């Protein structure tokens, strides 16, 4: 038994409302599968600023209202009937409900109905059809300034102007893909089409994956099952080759940027320069430890210069584009964790660092923009790793000011001049609340007060606290006690785990960041426990990189700190501990059971990584390097090597068409367990991908809950 390291309980946060005697309702599995919308926090639909004005808009009862920020005067802007009047005048089909609108300026907004885009002048009550896309269009990028739309059909790129379609690429080989995301959506990549500032050009990813292995997924819905392969570049194997093309709408010509050798590199952070003459690309080597921010002339594709380089012996992970200052167009913000924490840096286009804008042992989580040329707004964790607050920093004095007045997890929209902020947040005691703030963070008015959607439900008491890791770092924990908790009783424990990079399960947000399913398990009589171990997000580079090349080792030791703590609690039955997780959490679930045999009586692992050599290059090699370069790390992390140590009841759940953690992972584990004469349970969801969606999700929740109820 490991020695329990120093335990420091900090910031105990309790949902006081959970002890009100009148609360007697209980959650059902259909409730938590988003079928009962009344159980989720209220939202203000379509809340947004209107162009460059100090007026904001929101939707209510099939109408859009506008409000003056300073005075709070609320007036009708337009409603569904007014839009339909314009639709009917122009011979268009009427709408059944208010569409989602996006304001182009102070007088007009855009909306889409079906495949058609409309421009509505709400001052002149004039409606125009401006464009339409075909039914087969995917990956659509609409330019709201011009009304043009670029999109893909199959593997080729198109654009459309006023309903007239132009084809940009003509690749017959399905292994050549244009205009789609690349590098399996890592490095912050969320699209493959990038309009230039004026809409005159389109930059797009061109991906050659002909050399990447076809991985066999199967379509089970046909009379005879059909092969539906996907390109899946496994760690250590051949990777895709990506370039960036720029298409000129006027000339009809495409020029490819000369990004050079080696071809197996990552093209990230694609950014247009403000004048549309240059495009910038962050080139990251396959080892992911050396980045170069490079500039290209879009007219010729020629390399212009390298602005700067970043390197790290473990990895560099760019996740943001360049953010250009609209007032000083040769200056931009670059987001980097090169000093150990994710921060903002102000550069010029010569590659000269003007100033590190933010610094400290905390992270910037989102860049909200430049306002007035000299002020930047952002979200960050300066107050606490559990919180996400709104901040402003002056680019002259570099003084950082906290804007959001309430503890919790915030989002924000800032008016174009930076004077007003639409602030929305949740916390451990607020489900969701909206406020209008001024630039000093003073509350002008509350737009929507908090409403507890679970006030009539009997929930377990939730608390957040810290434990100390082996090296003395704080590990944040969340505990939900059983409903009608009795300290004289002994309870089983349901440990919910993820444990991988880019995730933070515990936060100062509604329900402490926990899913309703965890409160459901507390209603079933379990102590529900979660711990964010080393490797998880928003704690700085070193905290995350500490698991590098040896996944499943330090994370498991951290989780066992939590287990050792649980065993000290008089109301915990140490012989009835269970663990559950999905994806990286599935890997962690099985790792915890196998590396600590006999400690856990029950485990349920969903979509688990079993052997990291079966995982894809971009994510896998970042944290593990290649199997060729790190054979010992892959051996230590491979769960097939520990099957003989399996004790207790284990069930693995997997979707048969999982394109992320391929089915081969869990099938290999099942095969190994059979060979070792180890009994386990196995359940598949036919046709589902990396998670179980839709109505089948309730079935999955029930299966997990029943497994713990029956065995723990």
Per-residue pLDDT of 98-115, as tens digits, reads 999 999 999 999 999 999
DSSP symbol at 232: -
Is omega for the bond preceding 162 within 30 degrees of 0, making it cis? no
**Residues ≥6 apart with Cβ < 8 Å to 486:** 571
Q: Is the pLDDT of residue 10 over 70?
A: no
Mean pLDDT over the full length of the chain? 95
| CA–CA distance, 46 with 147 (Å, rounded to integer) | 21
Alpha carbon 293 to chain centroid distance? 24
Mean pLDDT of 533-559: 98
Count CB-CB contacts under 10 A for residue 571. 15
| CA–CA distance, 505 with 152 (Å, rounded to integer) | 36
Encode 58-84 in three state secondary structure. Answer: EEECCEEEEEECCCCCEEEEEEHHHHH
| CA–CA distance, 3 with 40 (Å, rounded to integer) | 41
Alpha carbon 492 to chain centroid distance? 32
Q: Is the pLDDT of residue 3 over 90?
A: no
SS3 of the chain: helix, strand, coil, percent, to 5:
15, 35, 45
Half-sphere exposure at residue 146, Cβ-oriented, CA atoms within 13 angstroms = 19
Confidence of residue 130 (pLDDT cuts 50, 70, 90): very high
- Answer for the pair 690, 607: CB distance below 8 angstroms, yes or no: yes
| CA–CA distance, 378 with 423 (Å, rounded to integer) | 12
* Sheet strands side by side (includes 126-132): 101-103, 108-113, 116-121, 126-132
Question: Which pLDDT value is given to residue 18?
Answer: 40
- Domains defined along the chain, listed by start: 25-40+454-658+688-711 (3.40.50.1820), 42-132 (no CATH), 158-321 (2.140.10.30)
Largest CA distance in the chain: 79
Write out the E strands in 286-363. 290-297, 303-311, 323-324, 331-336, 343-348, 353-356
| CA–CA distance, 365 with 188 (Å, rounded to integer) | 13
Half-sphere exposure at residue 424, Cβ-oriented, CA atoms within 13 angstroms = 17
Among 658, 666, 688, 698, which one carries the catalytic annotation? 658
User: Phi then psi for 576, rounded to 5 degrees?
Assistant: -130, 70
Q: Is the pLDDT of residue 233 over 60?
A: yes
Q: How many helices (H) and strands (E) does the chain have?
A: 10, 45
Among 290, 502, 690, 699, which one carries the catalytic annotation? 690
- Answer for the pair 342, 364: CB distance below 8 angstroms, yes or no: yes
- Answer for the pair 64, 79: CB distance below 8 angstroms, yes or no: yes
658 is catalytic: yes
Mean pLDDT of 205-211: 98
| CA–CA distance, 103 with 50 (Å, rounded to integer) | 6
Among 404, 583, 591, 698, which one carries the catalytic annotation? 583
pLDDT of 304-362, one tens digit each?
A: 999 999 999 999 999 999 999 999 999 999 999 999 999 999 999 999 999 999 999 99
The closest alpha carbon to 650, from 676, 675, 673, 668, belongs to 673
Strand duo 681-685 + 649-655: pairing: parallel
- % pLDDT > 70, the chain: 97
583 is catalytic: yes
pLDDT of 402-461, one tens digit each?
A: 999 999 999 999 999 999 999 999 999 999 999 999 999 999 999 999 999 999 999 999
Q: Is 643 left (phi over 0), alpha (psi -120 to 50) or beta?
A: alpha
Sign of CA dihedral 695, 480, 42, 585: negative
The closest alpha carbon to 704, from 29, 241, 2, belongs to 29
Concatenate the DSSP letters of all residues of 618-674 into one string: HHHHHHH--TTT-HHHHHHH-GGGGGGG--SEEEEEEETT-SSS-THHHHHHHHHHH
- Answer for the pair 660, 689: CB distance below 8 angstroms, yes or no: yes
- Answer for the pair 675, 644: CB distance below 8 angstroms, yes or no: no
Rg (C-alpha) for the chain, rounded Å, is 27
**38 against 333, higher pLDDT:** 333
pLDDT of 573-622, one tens digit each?
A: 999 999 999 999 999 999 999 999 999 999 999 999 999 999 999 999 99
Mean pLDDT of 105-126: 96
Confidence of residue 36 (pLDDT cuts 50, 70, 90): confident
Question: Which pLDDT value is given to residue 22?
Answer: 53
Sign of CA dihedral 267, 270, 273, 276: positive
Question: Which pLDDT value is given to residue 17?
Answer: 36
| CA–CA distance, 318 with 189 (Å, rounded to integer) | 10
For the full predicted model, state whether its pTM sits above 0.85: yes
| CA–CA distance, 97 with 79 (Å, rounded to integer) | 10
Q: Is 72 left (phi over 0), alpha (psi -120 to 50) or beta?
A: left
The closest alpha carbon to 466, from 552, 551, 539, belongs to 539
Alpha carbon 347 to chain centroid distance? 27
Question: Which pLDDT value is given to residue 511?
Answer: 98
Half-sphere exposure at residue 211, Cβ-oriented, CA atoms within 13 angstroms = 10
Mean pLDDT of 45-61: 97
């Amino acid at each position: 038994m490991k020695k329990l390291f120093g335990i420091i309980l900090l910031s105990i946060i309790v949902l006081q409302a959970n002890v009100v005697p009148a609360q007697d309702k209980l959650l059902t599995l259909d409730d938590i599968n988003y079928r009962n919308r009344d159980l989720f926090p209220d939202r203000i639909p379509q809340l947004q600023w209107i162009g460059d004005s100090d007026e904001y808009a929101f939707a209510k009862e099939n109408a859009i209202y506008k409000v003056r920020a300073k005075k709070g005067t609320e007036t009708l802007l337009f409603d569904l009937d007014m839009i339909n009047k314009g639709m009917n005048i122009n011979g268009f089909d009427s709408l059944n409900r208010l569409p989602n609108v996006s304001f182009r300026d102070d007088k007009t907004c855009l909306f889409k109905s079906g495949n058609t885009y409309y421009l509505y002048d709400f001052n002149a009550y004039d409606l125009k059809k401006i464009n339409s896309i075909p039914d087969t269009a995917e990956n659509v990028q609409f330019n709201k300034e011009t009304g043009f739309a670029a999109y893909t059909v199959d593997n080729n790129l198109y654009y459309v102007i006023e309903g007239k379609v132009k084809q940009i690429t003509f690749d017959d080989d399905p292994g050549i893909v244009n205009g789609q995301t690349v590098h399996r959506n890592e490095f912050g990549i969320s699209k493959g089409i990038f309009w230039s500032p004026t809409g005159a050009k389109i930059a797009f990813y061109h991906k050659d994956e002909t050399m990447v292995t076809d991985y066999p997924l199967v379509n089970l819905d046909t009379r005879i099952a059909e092969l539906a392969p996907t390109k899946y570049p496994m760690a250590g194997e051949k990777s895709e080759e990506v370039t960036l093309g720029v298409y000129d709408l006027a000339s009809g010509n495409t020029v490819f940027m000369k990004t050079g050798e080696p071809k197996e590199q990552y093209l990230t952070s694609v950014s247009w320069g403000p004048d549309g003459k240059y495009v910038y690309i962050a080139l990251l080597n396959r080892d992911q430890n050396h980045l170069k921010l490079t500039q290209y002339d879009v007219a010729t594709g020629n390399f212009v210069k390298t602005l700067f380089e970043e390197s790290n012996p473990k990895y560099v992970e760019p996740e943001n584009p360049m953010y250009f200052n609209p007032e000083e167009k040769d200056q931009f913000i670059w987001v980097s964790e090169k000093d150990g924490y994710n921060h903002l840096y102000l550069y010029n286009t010569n590659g000269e660092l003007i100033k590190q804008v933010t610094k400290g042992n905390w992270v910037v989580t989102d860049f909200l923009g430049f306002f007035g040329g000299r002020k930047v707004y952002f979200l960050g964790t300066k107050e606490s790793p559990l919180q996400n607050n709104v901040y402003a920093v002056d680019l002259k004095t570099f003084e950082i000011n906290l804007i959001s007045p309430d503890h919790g997890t915030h989002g924000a929209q800032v008016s174009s001049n930076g004077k007003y902020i639409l602030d929305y947040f949740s916390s451990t005691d607020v489900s969701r609340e909206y406020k209008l703030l001024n630039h000093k963070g003073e509350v002008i008015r509350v737009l929507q007060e908090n409403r507890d959607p679970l006030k009539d439900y009997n929930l377990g008491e939730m608390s957040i606290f810290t434990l100390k890791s082996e090296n003395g770092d704080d590990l944040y924990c969340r505990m939900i006690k059983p409903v009608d908790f009795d300290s004289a009783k002994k309870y089983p424990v349901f440990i919910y785990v993820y444990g991988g990079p880019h995730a933070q399960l515990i936060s100062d947000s509604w329900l402490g960041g926990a899913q309703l399913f965890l409160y459901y398990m507390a209603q079933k009589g379990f102590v529900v426990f979660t711990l964010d171990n080393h490797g998880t997000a928003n704690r700085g580079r070193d905290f995350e990189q500490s698991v590098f090349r040896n996944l499943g080792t330090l994370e498991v030791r951290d989780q066992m700190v939590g287990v050792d703590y649980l065993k000290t609690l008089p109301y915990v039955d140490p012989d009835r501990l269970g663990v559950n997780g999905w994806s990286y959490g599935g890997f962690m679930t099985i790792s915890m059971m196998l590396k600590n045999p006999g400690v856990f009586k029950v485990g349920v692992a969903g979509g688990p990584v079993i052997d990291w050599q079966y995982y894809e290059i971009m994510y896998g090699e970042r944290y593990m390097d290649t199997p060729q370069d790190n054979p010992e790390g892959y051996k230590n992390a491979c769960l097939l090597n520990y099957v003989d140590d399996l004790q207790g009841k284990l069930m693995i759940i997997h979707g048969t068409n999982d394109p992320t953690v391929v089915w081969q992972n869990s099938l290999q584990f099942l095969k190994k367990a059979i060979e070792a004469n180890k009994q386990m349970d196995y359940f598949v969801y036919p046709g589902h991908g990396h998670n179980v969606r839709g109505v089948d999700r309730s079935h999955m929740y029930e299966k997990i809950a029943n497994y713990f109820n029956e065995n723990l």
